[in-house]
Chain A
Amino acid sequence: SYELTQPPSVSVSPGQTASITCSGDKLGDKYACWYQQKPGQSPVLVIYQDTKRPSGIPERFSGSNSGNTATLTISGTQAMDEADYHCQAWDSSTGVVFGGGTKLTVL
């Protein structure tokens, strides 16, 4: 079955750029998306189709996907961005696949 791997945690200082990676075999040949989840809340879609932002998502959130790695980038990170981030893709054999999630800490 297809698997996606994320680092368990990432730390960033306020105002700096945070990068969260998601790795999978030939992930660049698929579309990746990203969800933000704050404690006690449902996930929120922040990036879909590798690079697109849904309405209402700040421009500081951006995405890329190439080779075996998709990356979520948060520019000018704010305290409110502290959350868990989950990547997701679709595999023709496995169906919907999620990464294990990354806890972003804004120090």
Chain B
Amino acid sequence: QVQLVQSGAEVKKPGSSVKVSCKASGGTFSNYAISWVRQAPGQGLEWMGGIIPIFGTSNYAQKFQGRVTITADESRSTAYMELSSLRSEDTAMYYCARLYSSGASHAFEIWGQGTMVTVSS
């Protein structure tokens, strides 16, 4: 059974960047799309973007275009999400999740444990 294990909590200053990792273990990594979803305290889920490692192609939600970079290292079975120009509103739990796709149906079947990113001066 595939598991997604994320890197640990981060505390960052406003204006800086953060890079969070998501390592897949126990199964195939490259053939499945990995997305990043964040959740601010007490709020709902928000999709940031995703990548298909075997193709190396990323797509991003319009809100995060230009500020987020999602990459993958197939040799390490690891996906990364880097968010720049951090502000207090970016304080949130960040999840990676593996996408199950069947035709036009897309659902996140496996989730990482989450990485808390706190932006504070």
Contacts and interface: CB of A to CB of B under 8 A. Distances in A.
B77 interface: no
A97 B106 CA distance: 11
Interface size class of A (residues with CB under 8 A): 20 to 34
Contacts of A61: none
Chain A CB within 10 A, most for which of B43, B107, B109: B107
B107 A98 contact: no
Given A42-B112, A48-B100, A86 B44 contact: yes
Contacts of B28: none
B75 interface: no
A100 B114 contact: no
Interface string A81-96: 0000010101000111
A15 interface: no
A50 B49 CA distance: 23
A44 B110 CA distance: 8
Nearest to A92: B104
B45 A48 contact: no
Contacts of B100: 48
A100 B45 CA distance: 7
Contacts, number: 64
A43 B45 CA distance: 9
A96 B95 contact: no
Given A42-B112, A101-B44, A49 B61 contact: no
Given A98-B45, A99-B44, A45 B104 contact: no
Given A42-B113, A42-B114, A49-B102, A95 B108 contact: no
A98 B44 contact: yes
Contact of A35 (B102, B104, B106, B108): B108
Interface of A: 1, 30-31, 33, 35, 42-45, 48-50, 54, 86, 88, 90, 94-101
Interface of B: 35, 37, 43-47, 49-50, 59, 61-62, 95, 97, 100, 102, 104-109, 111-114
